[in-house]
Structure 1
Amino acid sequence: MDASGAADLPVFAIVTGLLGGLALFLFGLETLSRALRTVAGDSMRKVLATLTTNRFVGAFTGALVTAVIQSSSVTTVLVVGFISAGIMTLGQAIGVIMGANIGSTMTAQLVAFKITEAALPLVTAGFAIGFLARNEVVKQWGAVLLGLGFVFLGMAMMSDAMAPLRQSPEFVEAVATLREPVWGVLVGFVFTAVVQSSAATLGIVITMASQGLIPLDAGIAVLLGANIGTCATAMLACIGRPREAVRAALAHVLFNVIGVVAWLPFIPQLEAVVTGLTPGSAAREIANAHTLFNVVNVAVMIWFTGPLTRLILWLVPERAPLPGMEDLPRPRYLDSALLETPPAALDAVRLELGNVGARVRRMLVAGLPAAIQGSRPALDAVARMDAGVDVLYESVMDYLRRIGSRTMTRSQATTYLALMEAARGLESIGDLVETDMVTIGRRRLEEKIAISEHSARRVTALHDRVLDALDGTLEAVRSGDVDAARRVVAMKPDIHALVQAATRHGAARLVANEPNRVAAYTREMELIEQLRRIYYFCKRICRALADPEPATEEAAPSLGAAAE
C-alpha cells in the first residue's frame, strides 16, 4: 500500500474496536473469575490450607487453586493470611506463589482456543441461566458462561478491529522492532503495568499473532514482559500492608524477574519448541510458550526456595514499632483483595475476631482480680484495654458491611450472620468488663469494702469456668469448630451451679455479723451477675455458630440489597 493508502487507514474504527473489544474481554474475564471464586472459593481455600505440607505439594496446590478461581492475586492474599496465622511458613508460601504462576497460564490457554463462533451462544445461555435460576450456585455457573462468552466476543472484536493493520507498512515496521527481545519485554511490561492485567496483554498478543500481525519471537518477548508487569500491581497493592504481604509480593517479583532474565537468551529455543508442539496455530503457540515458561521456571527455582526465603527475609526484616505505638491495634487480616471471594473474606473475619477475642480474654483475666482487690490504677489499666477492642471491632464490622454487599450463597450468608453475632458478642463482653466490672471495683474502693478470701474463691471459681467458656468460644470462632461451640453451650448447668453456690454463700454472709456486710454482699452479687452475663454472650455466639438455620443454596442476594 502506498502513502495515500496508509493515510486511508481507518484509525478511529481500529482504536474504538480494539478498546471496546479489550473492555469486553476484561469484563468477561472479571465476571468469569468472580463467579468461579463464589462457587469454588470455599473448597479451594480449604485445599490451599491443607495441601501445603512441602514446597512441591504447595506448588501443585497453588497451580490448582489459581487455575480454578482464576486469580493469582487472591491466592497470594490467602497465603499472606495463612503466614500471619502461623498455618504456613514463608518457604511453603513461596512454593504456592510459584505454582500460582502456572495456574494463571490457564487464562491464556482458555483464550487461545478462540471459539469465537460460540461467543454469542455462551452469552445467551449464561444470561438465561442467571436470569431464570433460583439456585444461587446455578446462577453463578450461568455467570461463568456469560463471562466466557464476553471473553470470546471481546477477542473477536479485537481481531476484526486490527485486521486492517496488516496493510500498514508503518505498523509492520513498528512491530519489527519488538523482535529485539529487550524492546518486546519493555512493551509487555509497560502495557501490563498500565492496564494492570497480564491477561489483557496476552489476549492482544494472541489476537495479533492469529492475524499475522506479530511474529512468534516478538510475541514471546512481550509475554515475558507481561510476567514482570503483573508484579507492579502486586507491589502497589502491598503498600501499607503487613510485612508478610510485602514478602509474598517480593517473592512473586523475584521469581518472575529472575525467570525472564534467564529466558531472554533462549527465546529462539522456546520458539522452536512451541512451534513443534502446535505447528500452524499462532494462538496456541503463544499460550504454550507462556505455560512452558512458567512450568520450567517453577521446576528449576523450586529447588532454591531456601536461599530465596533467606534473601526475602533479609530484604524485608521485621520492623520495630514506633515509640509509643507498640500496642496500637490494627487489623491484620482484613484485606480488601479478599472481598470478591466471600469464603476467603469470611475466613479473614474469623482470624481478625481471634485478635479481638485475645484482647477481650486479657481484659477478663485482669478484670476480676482488679475488681476484687485491685487498686484504682489497676482498674484504670483494665478500662483502657477496651479501646483496642473497640478499634478492631469497628474495623471488623466495616469489613463485614463490605462483604454483605457481595453476592453470597445461602450457607455463606449464614456464616456471615454468625460472625456478625460473634463480633457483637465479643465487643459486649469487653464492655461488660470495662464498664460494669471496673465500676464495681471502683465502688468497692469508695466504700472501703474488703471481699473475704472465701467469697473471692467462690467468685474466682465461677470466673475460671467462664474463662473456659470464652476460650471455647474463641476456638469455635477462629476455626469454625462446631463441636467446640456445642461444648460451650453444654456448660450451662456447670455455670448455673457455680452461680447458685456463690449466691448461697453471699446470702450466708449477709446474715453474718460483719462490717459493711450489705455493701459487700451487693458488690459480690454484681460481680456474679456480670460473669453470668459474660457466659450468656459466649453461649449466644456459640449457638449461632453451632446451630445455624438449615443451609440451602437458594439465591441469596447481597445482604445490603436485602436491607433496602
Structure 2
Amino acid sequence: MLILLNILSGVALLVWGTHIVRTGILRVFGAELRRVLGRSANSRFRAFGAGLCVTSLVQSSNATAVLASSFAAQGLLPLAPGLAIMLGADVGTALMSRVLTLDLSWLSPILLLGGVIAFLSFKQTRTGQVGRTVIGLGLILLALHLIVEAAQPVMQGEGVKVMFGALTGDSMLDTLVGAAFAMISYSSLAAVLLTATLASSGVISLKVAVCLVIGANLGSGLLAVIGTLGQNPAGRRLALGNVLFKLAGALIVLPFAPWIAQGIGALIPYPRESVITFHLAYNMVRCVACMPLIDLVSRLCYRVLPDRPEANPELRPLYLDPVALSTPTLALANAAREALRIGDIIRTMLDNLVELMRANDPAKARSTIRMDDDVDQLYAAVKTYLARISREQLDEADSRRWTDIITLTINLEHAGDIIERVVTNIQEKKIMHRLAFSPEGLAELEDLHARVILTLQLGLSVFLNSDLRSAERLLAEKERFRDLERSYSYAHLDRLAGQSARSIETSALHLDIISDLKRLNSLFCSTAYPVLDAAGALRDTRLRRRVLDATYGNDSV
C-alpha cells in the first residue's frame, strides 16, 4: 500500500510540476506568445513553427490549443493556419518529452533552490514568475526520479505484475487509459513521461506503453474539444480538426502496435528511450502527413460546425472567452477588447445624439435608448468576466491593468446612462413638441458635442496605449471644455434676456444638455489619471488623492 501511495504521490508531483511550468510561462510571456501565434496566420509552415516553439515553452499542447482557439473564436485566426499551429504543437510536446527524459536528476535540486530564492525574493515581479517556472521544472525532474525509485519494489511482487497485465491487456483499453490520464492530468506530456518511467521500471510492457502514448495524444485533443464547448463555431472547429487528426493517427497505428513495439524494442534496448522515441516519431510522421490534408479537414469541419448568424450580435460578448481565464494575460486582453467594443457603442449613441439635436426623429431616439441596454449587458458581462480572473495570479502590472479595465467599463456604463437620459429629455421636451434649438444654441451644442467625441476617442487611445502625451492632452481638453461650458451657459442666458423665442422654449433642455455633456467629458478624461500617476505627472496633493480615489474607488480620503 505504501509503495502505491509513493507512486501516486510521484505522479501528482509530476502533474503539478507541468501545471506550474505552463501557467508560469503564460504569465510571463503570455502577450509575446499571443503575438507569435497571431503573426503566423499568413503561412502554414510559419504557423507550424509557431505552434512548435510556443508548445516547447509552455510544455503543453493543450495550452497552445487554448490560445489558438481563442484567436479563432475572435476571428483573428483562420482555420487552416490554426490547424497547422496545432500540428506543430504536437511535435513541440514530443520534443519536450525527449528533453525531460534525459538523465537530469542532478539538475533538480539546483533548479528548486534557485527557483525558490527567485520566487520569494521577487514574488510579484516578472523575475519571480520566472523563478516559479524554474521550480516547476525542478519538480518535474524530481517527480520522475521519485516514480522510478518507488516503482522498483513493485517488480518484486508477482501479484502486482499480474494485476497490471490484466488491466492493460487490450490495445483499445490501453489507449482509453492513456487518454483518460491525459485528460485528468490536463497534460499529455505528463502522461507520456509517466508511461516512459513505468516502462523503464518494467511495470508495463513496451506494447502497452505504445498504446498508452497513442491514447495520451488522443486525450489532449479531446480535452481541447471539451474546453471549447462554450465558444462559437469558429473556436470549436479548430479543436474538432485537431482531434480528427489525432483520431486518424490512432486508428491507423493501433492495429500495428504489437509489431511497432517489437521493432522499437529490437532497435533500442532501453524501454524508456523506446517509448520516447516512438512518441517523437509518431507525432512527427503523423503531423507531416497531415499537413497536405489541412484544406480537406477544414472543409469537413465547416460542414459539421457551420457559422450561424446571431439574432442580436450587440447583446452578446464577442471576446470574453471563458477558456482564456486560466491565462490571466490573455483574459485581460480579451476584457480590454470587449471594453473597447462598449466604447464603440457609446460613440454610436453620441453620433445619434447630435442628429437628434438637429432634427426631430422619434425612431432614432428610441433606437438610441435601446442601445443603453446593450451597454448594460456588455458591462455586466465584462464585470463578471474580470471577477473570475484570479487576482492572486496577477503581477503588479497586470493588477493595475485589471483596475484600468474595470474603471473604464464602469465609466462607459455611466456614460450610456447619461446619454439615455439626454435622449429621453430631448424626446419629451423637444421632439414631442416639435421644437428646435436656436441657430446659435445649436452651434454651441454641436461644438461641445464634437469635443466630447474627441475626448472619447482620445480616452480610448490612452487606455489602449498608455501614451503620456495623449493623457496630458486629455487634461488640457478637460480644462478647455470647462471654460467653454461656462461661456456657452452665459451666452444662452444673454439670449434669454434678448427674448429669443427659440431660446426660451428650449432653455431648460439646452442647459441640461450642456451640463450632461460636461459630465460625459469628465468621465472620458478620467482615463488620463492612471497614466499620469504612473509617470509621476500628478502632484502629491489632496486633490491628486481625490482624483485617484475617484478613479480607483478608494475611500481613504
Fold equivalence (TM over 0.5): yes
* Structure 1 position 395 matched with structure 2 position 381: yes
In the other structure, the counterpart of 2:405 is: 419
Partners in 2 of 1:91 and 1:13 — Cα distance? 50
Q: Partner amino acid for 2:429?
A: R
Q: Indicate how the Cα distance of structure 1 residues 103 and 147 shifts in structure 2: closer, same or farther if over 3 A, else same.
A: same
In the other structure, the counterpart of 2:215 is: 225
Q: Is the 8 A contact 1:371 1:437 kept in 2?
A: no
Which among 308, 314, 328 is matched to residue 319 of structure 1? 308
Q: Partner amino acid for 2:477?
A: K
* Structure 1 position 243 matched with structure 2 position 233: yes
Superposed, 1:10-29 pairs within 5 Å as: 12-29=1-18
Q: Is the 8 A contact 2:15 2:190 kept in 1?
A: yes
Size of the alignment, in residue pairs? 537
Q: Partner amino acid for 1:533?
A: R
* Structure 1 position 354 matched with structure 2 position 340: yes
Partners in 2 of 1:318 and 1:119 — Cα distance? 49
Which among 507, 510, 525 is matched to residue 524 of structure 1? 510
Partners in 2 of 1:272 and 1:498 — Cα distance? 86
Q: What SS does structure 2 have at the residue aligned with 1:51?
A: helix
In the other structure, the counterpart of 1:489 is: 474
Q: Partner amino acid for 1:263?
A: V
Deviation at 1:344, TM superposition (A): 1.1
Percent identity, aligned pairs only, is 23
Q: Partner amino acid for 1:184?
A: D
Q: Indicate how the Cα distance of structure 1 residues 394 and 265 shifts in structure 2: closer, same or farther if over 3 A, else same.
A: same
Q: Partner amino acid for 2:499?
A: N
Q: Is the 8 A contact 2:43 2:81 kept in 1?
A: yes
Partners in 1 of 2:466 and 2:94 — Cα distance? 36
Q: Is the 8 A contact 1:63 1:101 kept in 2?
A: yes
**TM-score, structure 2 length as denominator?**
0.84
Partners in 2 of 1:527 and 1:218 — Cα distance? 76
Partners in 1 of 2:468 and 2:313 — Cα distance? 33
* Structure 1 position 148 matched with structure 2 position 137: yes
Q: Is the 8 A contact 1:440 1:523 kept in 2?
A: yes
Q: Is the 8 A contact 1:74 1:337 kept in 2?
A: no
Which among 442, 456, 478 is matched to residue 428 of structure 2? 442
In the other structure, the counterpart of 1:69 is: 58
Deviation at 1:143, TM superposition (A): 1.5
In the other structure, the counterpart of 1:8 is: none
Q: Is the 8 A contact 1:126 1:144 kept in 2?
A: yes
- The C-alpha deviation readout for 1:182-224, integer Å capped at 9, x for no partner, is 3432332233344443233223211111212233333122100
Gaps of 5+ in 1: 1-11, 551-561
Superposed, 1:120-519 pairs within 5 Å as: 120-133=109-122, 136-173=125-162, 178=168, 181-265=171-255, 267=257, 279-321=268-310, 326-327=312-313, 329-370=315-356, 373-374=359-360, 378-403=364-389, 405-445=391-431, 449-452=435-438, 455-474=441-460, 477=463, 480=465, 482=467, 489=474, 492=477, 496=481, 506-507=492-493, 509-515=495-501, 517-519=503-505
**What is the aligned-residue RMSD (CA, Å)?**
3.5
Q: Is the 8 A contact 2:468 2:535 kept in 1?
A: no
Deviation at 1:46, TM superposition (A): 2.2
Deviation at 1:536, TM superposition (A): 2.9
Which among 74, 79, 82 is matched to residue 93 of structure 1? 82
Partners in 2 of 1:117 and 1:536 — Cα distance? 61
Q: Indicate how the Cα distance of structure 1 residues 545 and 398 shifts in structure 2: closer, same or farther if over 3 A, else same.
A: farther
Q: Indicate how the Cα distance of structure 1 residues 196 and 363 shifts in structure 2: closer, same or farther if over 3 A, else same.
A: same
Q: Is the 8 A contact 1:51 1:57 kept in 2?
A: yes
Q: Is the 8 A contact 1:210 1:282 kept in 2?
A: yes
Q: Is the 8 A contact 2:198 2:204 kept in 1?
A: yes
* Structure 1 position 39 matched with structure 2 position 24: no
Q: Indicate how the Cα distance of structure 1 residues 548 and 190 shifts in structure 2: closer, same or farther if over 3 A, else same.
A: same
